[in-house]
Amino acid sequence: MTDREIILNALPDPIGGDVPKIFSRPRAESADGWELFEKRFSELGGRIVRLHELQNLATKSWLVDEDARGFVRHLNYQTANEIWEAEVGVTVADCAVAETGSLLIRAAHGRRRMASLAPPLHVAFVKETAIVETLDEAMPLAAGRTSVIITGPSRTADIAGTLIRGVHGPGEVWVIRCDEQSDQRS
Amino acid sequence: MKGINVDVNAQRLASTQADSVRRAASGFTAARRLTLQSTYGRHLLQAREHAAKTKDHVLNNLREYLLQLEQNCQNNGIELVWAKDAESARAAVLEIVRQHASPGAVIVKGKSMLTEEIHLNAALQHEGYVPIETDLGEFVVQLDDDQPSHIVAPIIHKSKQDVAQTFAAHGICEPSEDAQTLTLAARKELRRRFKQAEIGISGVNFAIAETGRLVIVSNEGNNRLSTTAPPLHIAMMGIEKILPREADLPLFITLLTSSATGQRITTYVHMIAGPKKHDETDGPNKLYLVLVDNGRSRIASGSCAPILRCIRCGACMNTCPVYRQASGHSYRHVYSGPLGIVLAPNLDGLETMGDVVKASSLCGACEEVCPVKIPIPDMILHLRNEALKANAATRENWRAFVSLASHPAMWKFAMRWSGLSGVLPLDPIRRWKRHRAWPKREGTAFRRWWNDRS
Amino acid sequence: MLTCLCDAFYGEVGIAAVKVLEHLGCKVEFPLDQTCCGQPPFNNGDWESARKLAARTIELFSGDVPVVVPSSSCAAMLRDGCRSLFGKAMSNVFELSEFVLNVLKIESWPGDSIQAQRVAFHRACHGRVLGLGDSQERLLQMVPNLRLVPFEDADQCCGFGGAFAIGQGFLSSKIGLEKLRRICETGVETFASGDMGCLMHLRGLIEKHRLPVRAVHYCQVLSSTIS
């Protein structure tokens, strides 16, 4: 017998029954999704910035996802030759999640998983309308592809409980709210 | 082979280590309470009950869910390997590694208690491969040739000085007690390894049966790097770690991270839907999922089945008064605290691990904090009963006491003249007195008072 | 129900409990043949022995008269532990404060006030099984001039755990000393609790380590207000 057969045979017979309904916790009143997002995101060390603040970084080497290029083309940044040497990673986030201050990024053609992971600074463009309140609402946007929910900078407190940011992932995460593809929120 | 009692091990613990563990565990417990209160408020019990029911539903239908997971993973291009026990799991991983990696290849690892349970690293090293733990705490543990003392925070028993010494001894860093300096030194060293690595090995926090997705939570980013950068990813999972649907994930992630460290959510929730798709730019070319049984199917049919609900948050050990004083190392097993004293004897047998079930005062704090409401004290009691019947644990002799307590005339006589001092065997009294004064009878004996007034 | 510990060592606690109940208007019966509810062997895994003792206790206390006991662990044994032994348990067993608050429905304390006193309270773990919550504290706080003082990690176990105290003596003692450290930090002279198991263990540590605090059963505090 294969291990698979051994294991499946060893398990008790299925009992059946319905899978429990999804639990949705009662939502707190929140006036503005972006307001809550900004609160949570900045508590974790994230920054909401304006596009023009990226100008100072143009001399650094960037990894830019294809669908983010429209936003930054005018900045004349340096493209990183080596992924591991990139200093800035620029991506689009499919949505922002207000209750946790998170960003959801779903893999797609022209996007790099490493862009939001390897460089010390990650900049994420999020459309004004792409804000949801809860993780429950964000989940369907991850359907079918490898995705990541990013909540602030990489962190650890393994060494005697001292909080340190930027352990392996980016130590800084910036969000830029934007309107459509090439427009910018001034 | 019987090992050393938890109590004895605890005595050998350095007091600095013990203090360190107690403070960290206390801190996690307080953080957990605050976050869960703010997230769920008065709906917390409902949330936990819901999570418990969902997990029980999966466990009651585990065969069906495994088949569903298998089908959907395969649809996603994930190759499945089934391993009935630790030996089989090690062999399966070695086979994959041999096929795909060069001799002496560097293998980066995300934190996985399962891989420690099956002793994977030693097997890889034995074959000349270089497994590198990339979680900061596990990295330190590996350098020290130590064991993690907690399933979520592996080095709560170590101080900054300890880590500084370790790093200096291994050339990671000049001696420094600045946590920032130490962490950046580890980052630099591990980045070197991520670049070299031919394979990444990780655990799995949740596998979604409905979509064949593997979910891994982490704060540092090492788990994401280990499962993204190398061309091959091997994910290892206990067969019980299944959730039915994508929509179940928010509840379980929130309960997990809040219960573990008091975080609303970890920095990264990596939701893997397979290897790199043809139109994607990066990600591993190949992804294997190793499903490990190693006793879980047997546990699923027994009185300790609820322990399989466990989502490995560590809340139970954080709140446990015994764990706080003993630290994970005293339990002789990768799983310690309340989780460990139920799981270890179930995985390794009462013969070798039966004595750890004594390391509990049955206070029930663990059950109160468990996000999936595992009735740990009940299972401890069951295990004690089983251990006694199997004679694996040291037999406490209650026969004399029971005999006395079944004969009221004898009992009253004993109470009148000697209290319990006359009816208990000498040995327990002696052992009691080692640590505290034996009680003296206080004031008027009740029966005499009752007698006198009627 | 007196409990075996009070029978053996702490007669004063039993006397205090009876006085409290009588003061509140109850007629108290004491079945003379009671011994032990079976909790010690039960917790230890010796369910055969536990069944013998629990069965005779249930038999002795069967009937309509509510059974009141100044101990959450004994009450928990009969109301919950017995389920594992027999598939069913007694329902008319009450820990003292439960009985006073929920059955007698006392809302204010009909006794003398005491001299102003700061007291800490240690909650026994078996209260969790009974769903006691803060019953014992609420009852104590009804006494005028009595102020309950909070302390760190108050809900942590004292480390008694029955046979745990003997089999894992070092850990038991360490846990207890940690509890006492937190209590002594508040500077109270006295702390109260509702379980003589806890108190036997903590008092033993206090005596051995000569700690500057006194431990009593809360019904002794209540009884002291009855002239």
C11 in reach of chain B (CB within 8 A): yes
Burial B85-122 (b: 16+ CB within 10 A, else e): bbebbbebbbebbeebbeeebbbbbbbbbbbbbbebbe
Rama region for C98: left / alpha / beta (φ>0; ψ in -120 to 50; rest): alpha
Nearest chain B Cα to C47, which residue?
B385
Q: Which of A88, A150, A80, A78 is nearest to A119 (CA)?
A: A88
Give residue B41's pLDDT: 92
C185: its two tokens:
């930090």
Give residue A88's pLDDT: 97
CB contact under 8 A, A25 and B220: no
Cβ within 8 Å of residue C227, ≥6 positions away: C112
pLDDT exceeds 60 at position C83:
yes
Cβ within 8 Å of residue B7, ≥6 positions away: B326, B330, B359, C167, C168, C169, C170, C171
Give residue A159's pLDDT: 84
Q: In Å, how far is A68's CA from the nearest CA of chain B? A: 15
Are B272 and A144 within 8 A, CB to CB?
A: no
CB contact under 8 A, B57 and A17: yes
Could you say which of B24, B140, B297 has the minimum Cβ distance to residue A7? B297
Q: Using a CB-CB distance cutoff of 8 angstroms, which residues of chain C are in contact with residue B331? A: none
Backbone angles phi, psi at B165, to 5 degrees: -60, -45
B413 in reach of chain C (CB within 8 A): no
Q: How many CB atoms lie within 10 A of CB A22?
A: 15
CB contact under 8 A, C168 and B5: yes
pLDDT more than 70, % of chain A: 94
Nearest chain C Cα to B429, which residue?
C166
B192: its two tokens:
């070197």
Whole-number Å distance between alpha carbons of B415 and C116: 37
- For β-strands A47-48 and A172-178, DSSP reports them as parallel
- For β-strands B199-202 and B232-238, DSSP reports them as parallel
Could you say which of B381, B412, B443 has the minimum Cβ distance to residue C43? B381
CB contact under 8 A, A14 and B155: no
Nearest chain A Cα to B25, which residue?
A161
Mutation to test the C interface, candidates B8, B330, B360, B361, most C Cβ within 10 Å: B361
Give residue A183's pLDDT: 47
pLDDT more than 90, % of chain A: 85
Give residue A31's pLDDT: 62
Residue at C62: amino acid letter = S
A98-144 confidence digits (pLDDT tens): 999 999 999 999 999 999 999 999 999 999 999 999 999 999 999 99
The CATH code of domain A29-181 reads: 3.40.50.10420
| Residue tagged 């006036």 (tokens) | A31
Give residue B427's pLDDT: 84
Q: How many CB atoms lie within 10 A of CB C155?
A: 14
Give residue B177's pLDDT: 86
Give B 106-135 residues with CB within 8 A of chain A: 134-135
Are C3 and C217 within 8 A, CB to CB?
A: no
Are A106 and A91 within 8 A, CB to CB?
A: no
Are C173 and C159 within 8 A, CB to CB?
A: yes
ipTM given for this complex: 0.95
Q: Which of A64, B357, C61 is nearest to C75 (CA)?
A: C61
CB contact under 8 A, B404 and C35: yes
Which chains have at least 3 CB atom pairs separated by less than 8 Å from chain A? B
Helix/strand/coil percentages in chain A, nearest 5 = 25, 25, 50
Whole-number Å distance between alpha carbons of B396 and B227: 51
Give residue B418's pLDDT: 73
C181 in reach of chain B (CB within 8 A): no
Give residue A184's pLDDT: 47
Number of H helices, E strands in chain A: 4, 12
What average pLDDT does this structure show over C92-111? 94
B212 in reach of chain A (CB within 8 A): no
Chains C and A touch, using 3 or more CB pairs below 8 Å = no
Give residue B2's pLDDT: 56
Backbone angles phi, psi at C151, to 5 degrees: -150, 165
C119-131 confidence digits (pLDDT tens): 999 999 999 999 9
Q: Using a CB-CB distance cutoff of 8 angstroms, which residues of chain A are in contact with residue B54? A: 19-20
pLDDT exceeds 60 at position C216:
yes
Which chains have at least 3 CB atom pairs separated by less than 8 Å from chain B? A, C
Q: Using a CB-CB distance cutoff of 8 angstroms, which residues of chain B are in contact with residue C172? A: 361, 435
Return averaged pLDDT per consecutive 10 residues of chain B, 454 residues in all: 80 89 93 94 96 98 98 98 98 98 97 96 97 94 91 89 92 89 93 96 98 97 96 98 97 97 96 96 97 97 96 97 94 95 95 92 96 97 90 62 91 82 78 93 89 88
Domain spans of chain A, in order of start? 29-181
Q: In what order do the strands lie in the sheet with A78-79?
A: A47-48, A172-178, A121-127, A88-92, A61-64, A78-79
Are B295 and B117 within 8 A, CB to CB?
A: no
Give A 145-184 residues with CB within 8 A of chain B: 145-162, 164, 166-170
Per-residue pLDDT band for A180 (boundaries 50, 70, 90) equals: low
Could you say which of A84, A153, A162 has the minimum Cβ distance to residue B195? A84
Whole-number Å distance between alpha carbons of B320 and B25: 9
Q: How many CB atoms lie within 10 A of CB A81?
A: 8
What average pLDDT does this structure show over C166-173? 94
Give residue C227's pLDDT: 78
Q: In Å, how far is B389's CA from the nearest CA of chain A? A: 25
Q: In what order do the strands lie in the sheet with C214-217?
A: C146-148, C117-122, C190-193, C214-217
Are B359 and C171 within 8 A, CB to CB?
A: yes
CB contact under 8 A, B266 and A151: yes
Burial B392-426 (b: 16+ CB within 10 A, else e): bbeebebeebbebbbebeebeebbeeebbbebbee
Mutation to test the B interface, candidates C4, C10, C35, C177, most B Cβ within 10 Å: C35
Q: In Å, how far is C212's CA from the nearest CA of chain B? A: 15
pLDDT exceeds 90 at position C76:
yes
C198-213 confidence digits (pLDDT tens): 999 999 999 999 999 9
| Residue tagged 């999704």 (tokens) | A33
Nearest chain A Cα to B268, which residue?
A150
Cβ within 8 Å of residue B254, ≥6 positions away: A135, B39, B264, B265
Residue A22 carries which DSSP code?
A: P
